[in-house]
Amino acid sequence: MERYSTIRIRETNESKTVKISSNLKPDLDSLIIDKWQSLLDITARIVGVPSGLIMRLNEKTIEVFLKSETTGNSYKVGGKAELIYGLYCENVIGTQLPLLVPNAAKSLIWNKDNPDVDINMISYLGFPVNWPDGEVFGTICLLDNKENHYNNDYRNLLMLAKQQLETDLELLQTNNELHQRNIQLEQLNNIKSKFLALISHDVRGMIGTLDQLLKLVITDFENFEISELKEIIKSSSMSASSSYRILEDLLIWSKNDLIQMEPNKTEIDIVNCIESLLHDFQQEITIKRINIVKEYCTPKANILADKGMVMVSLRNILSNAIKYTNLNGKISIKIYYAHNHYITEIEDTGIGMKKSSVENLFHYDISHKSKGTNGESSAGIGLMLVKEFLDKNKATIEVESQVGVGSKFKITWY
């Protein structure tokens, strides 16, 4: 989140809004703070002034981030001043130029309404300190209780200190960005792993069903009529083609789009998606003699979404409904329009789930693995990717389930 601060430039009597350290900026670790403290102490002692400060700009105040451990330094770490005075450091930040005030007590600009003068800090030398992207951190400055013109050596010394502070901020931000990129790479690898599990989950189920059917034919081949064998071969071919198509589509999609995981939204027909998936699952439905009850409010229900993500989501829900529905069970599929949105409901008369399982349904857990009512295997990924894909397409999913009664999934397409 971006953050800004409005400061007063006393020399020109104007206000200026500057961008300050955002919430995304990394915190300074103890090693950097200790390093800065030593640098500040050495600089103040070499120049021979009571006060060396590193100031940090906040939205409404400027605060003492670090102070030199030198005799006579009356400032306190954490001490804050409101941005209403046009302080020395405000001027430096506003102009982004070094400021030298040899004796504020003699200056018409600096001698009045100046909290630093009130504690007898009448001379000042300061430089701006910024993050590498230009966001303001604050200043580094020296203050004296007597007139001080700070010779060129002292000015160069403080300039070198400023440059060291900004180098540390740049290294800190670079390291933080590398850390964030590593986290993103780990997340992408996790997504790839989940995606491969999804492919295994979908295709393995269809191939497993095909394998069981062919074994049945081999075992009892002599008792099949030619017409029955022809129908089985036709059904097997459809199942194999569906498996191949799923595998090919998902692998192509994974290669091209998985890294960014951004939906490519087009107008798609939910009715057509459901019908296509029912065709793919026809063999499993036939084997378990499941009654499919369809109730569509319209022949077409067009929504704006990524077709690949929608198909993967619906395929998983239907696959689970078939897997966990008993022989001669029923799956009801409704598509209706309510409150300006299409809604899809898929309800089965399967084994159902207990409340704790429903609550964790969208998270990967190896303990979620459970065989279907006909011994079908599970990849243990639950509906993790379904939730991710629906979220990306601004769709919501709700689940109701009761052990021994069945489960209902409700998707609202926005």
pTM listed for this prediction? 0.56
Taking residues 66-92, what's their average pLDDT? 95
Instruction: Decide: 148 and 138 in contact? Cβ < 8 Å.
Output: no
Distances in Å between the alpha carbon of 85 and those of 15, 63, 110, 139?
11, 14, 10, 16
Burial of residue 68 (CB within 10 Å: 0-12, 13-18, 19+) is buried
CA atoms within 13 A on the CB side of 77: 7
What are the backbone angles phi and psi of residue 375, rounded to the nearest 5°? 80, 10
- Per-residue pLDDT tens digits for 177-219: 999 888 877 876 776 676 666 666 667 777 877 888 788 888 8
169: closest CA among 148, 198, 190, 140? 140
DSSP string, 137-206: EEEEEEEESS-----HHHHHHHHHHHHHHHHHHHHHHHHHHHHHHHHHHHHHHHHHHHHHHHHHHHHHHH
User: What is the rounded distance in angstroms from the CA atom of residue 202 to the CA atom of residue 199?
Assistant: 5
User: What is the rounded distance in angstroms from the CA atom of residue 321 to the CA atom of residue 372?
Assistant: 9
Architecture of domain 181-413: 2-Layer Sandwich (3.30)
Distances in Å between the alpha carbon of 357 and those of 143, 181, 331, 343, 367?
65, 33, 21, 24, 10
> For the chain, how far is it from start to end, CA to CA, in angstroms?
27
Instruction: Decide: 166 and 133 in contact? Cβ < 8 Å.
Output: no
* Whole-number percent of the chain with pLDDT over 90: 63
DSSP string, 6-46: EEEETTTTEEEEEEE--TTSPPPPHHHHHHHHHHHHHHHHH
Give the model's pLDDT for residue 377.
47
- Phi-psi region for residue 289, left (φ > 0), alpha (ψ -120 to 50) or beta? left
User: What is the rounded distance in angstroms from the CA atom of residue 115 to the CA atom of residue 137?
Assistant: 21
Of residues 171 and 213, more confidence is placed in 171
Q: Which token pair is 171?
A: 């290294």
- Work out the pLDDT band at 120, boundaries 50, 70, 90: very high
Kindly state the DSSP code that residue 290 receives in the 8-state scheme. Answer: P
Lowest-confidence range among 53-67, 92-106, 204-218? 204-218
- Per-residue pLDDT tens digits for 385-394: 788 889 999 9
Domain ranges of the chain: 3-150, 181-413
User: What is the rounded distance in angstroms from the CA atom of residue 367 to the CA atom of residue 365?
Assistant: 5
CB within 8 Å of 66: residues ≥ 6 apart: 33, 36, 37, 40, 53, 54, 77
User: What is the rounded distance in angstroms from the CA atom of residue 52 to the CA atom of residue 67?
Assistant: 6
Give the model's pLDDT for residue 359.
86
Taking residues 24-48, what's their average pLDDT? 95
Residue 249 three-state SS: helix
Outline where DSSP puts E strands in 270-340. 291-296, 302-305, 330-338
Query: What is the fold of 3-150?
Result: Beta-Lactamase (3.30.450)
